[in-house]
A and B are shown apart, each in its own frame.
Chain A
Amino acid sequence: MTQDFELAVECCLLAGRLMMESGAETYRAEDTMDRMAISQHLTQSQSFVTPTGIIFSGSNSLPTRLVRISNRSTDLERIALVNNVSRKLVNKDITLQEAYSELVSIENEHKTLPLWIQIGAASIASASFLLLYGGTFKDVPTALIAGGIGFSISTLLEMKTRVKFFAEFLAALCICLIAIFSVTWGLGIDVDRIIIGSVMPLVPGLLITNAVRDLMAGHFVSGVSKGAEAFLTAFAIGAGVALGLSF
């Protein structure tokens, strides 16, 4: 029976870690872990989740476990998959062993979309934003190129250097320079709108939403730290654009 409890704790921790690594809200990760624990008769479980680590205690007699969350990315599909596994476990559709092996396979096998599709999506989003913010059709090609290049620079640099602010700063700088050059060479018309549209894929949208929802749920540590991360990212983008414009 103790073996079962250990596996249950392991399962809860894995689910929580996968959710936090994919960019879920803190309170959702805690809620999922607690529900899974209660379904496995760990009625006194306690979880404390922050964006950088999870502390989880199954019951008073079991040892308290700590898991570090080192790399965070955005992968909404993985959140949905983990959520689905926990829902099935709580409804007793699958056993604990099955749930654990499903979670392990999600961790090892789940792939994100290939990078070129993401870059294409970023380009299209940039061009749409350019037009939504009142740009002209003549600026669309520039926005497509600038948005795609900016997004790929930020993604690739973040993978290589692990310093998000630097990656976003350089990406914003490049977007700004592309916009300025295209206008001087007569390919574009409105520098401002090209830059605003192309910078949009870098905006920390997930962080903003998560920060607000975590603050509302009373998770002040995560809410404030995510808000600070969002603010710093926005500041890095602003600084990159500012440096580009000052040339």
Chain B
Amino acid sequence: MLRRILLGLILAGVAGAGVFWWLTIPAVVASASLPPRTPNLANGVATFNAGGCSSCHAVPNQPDRLKLGGGLAMPSPFGTFYVPNISSDPTYGIGRWSEADFVTAVLKGTSPDGTHYFPAFPYTSYRNATVDDVRDLFAYLKTLAPVSGKTRDHDVPFPFNIRRNVGVWKWLFMDGKHHVADASHSASWKRGAYLVNGMGHCAECHSPRNFLGGILEVQRFAGGPNPEGEGWVPNITQKRLAEWSAKDIAYFLETGQTPDGDTAGGSMVRVIKNTSQLPPEDRDAIAEYVKSLAPVEGPPQPKKQDAEKS
């Protein structure tokens, strides 16, 4: 009897491990699936700026936003991530990557050696980008200067440091469905929806997350506690931005100035450095889409009265 129970347990364990293994196989894009294409570098620049790549990958505390040696510390509830080097350096950057490696990384969140990236890299949004945009981005990144130097390893404790577990996370929070723009809208609205939900990855900071770090879908774009630590990320649905016109939003993305004369602060300053480089039509498109986001109540904010107690 005992032997039978033991055997059953072992079989269940093996089956469980098999399911886990199968569930967490990192997805890849095969190079054979990429037809020949002449890269469009101008589109690569636009994709780079829309994606805000340099917001995180630029070497911190120096002015050159195209120096993509990484190293920025990204604190999170799961540990501190150190942003990798994505310069064209063959040893420390992506200089030896194939185009399929890069497309796989950005659209599937899988590294060239076949492991899952942590979702601090916002592939959950980037996967909505078109393959052509990502290929152009790769061509553009290859034109930028190599930066040598290895960045620090992530400081992420168990169990979050088990890369295979990220496969479960992806299964839970990345449903494989892509953002589909509503056909009834204007071309510029669709462009805005594409930029916001794809490369722009706005929801990654402007949404509350559950205890596993998955976005709470019902409150997408409704803001929440700053995932990187102190403070609050604002709600960008019409709950909060009703008094902003689309023009105000576009002007903010260009200059960092709000309609009441305030300016962007915190991480948004780095975002504006990218959005200010976008073609004006793209900023207008983003603004049109953001202006159309239905009002959604965000998570409760810390009470302001607390301030008086100090």
A binds B: no
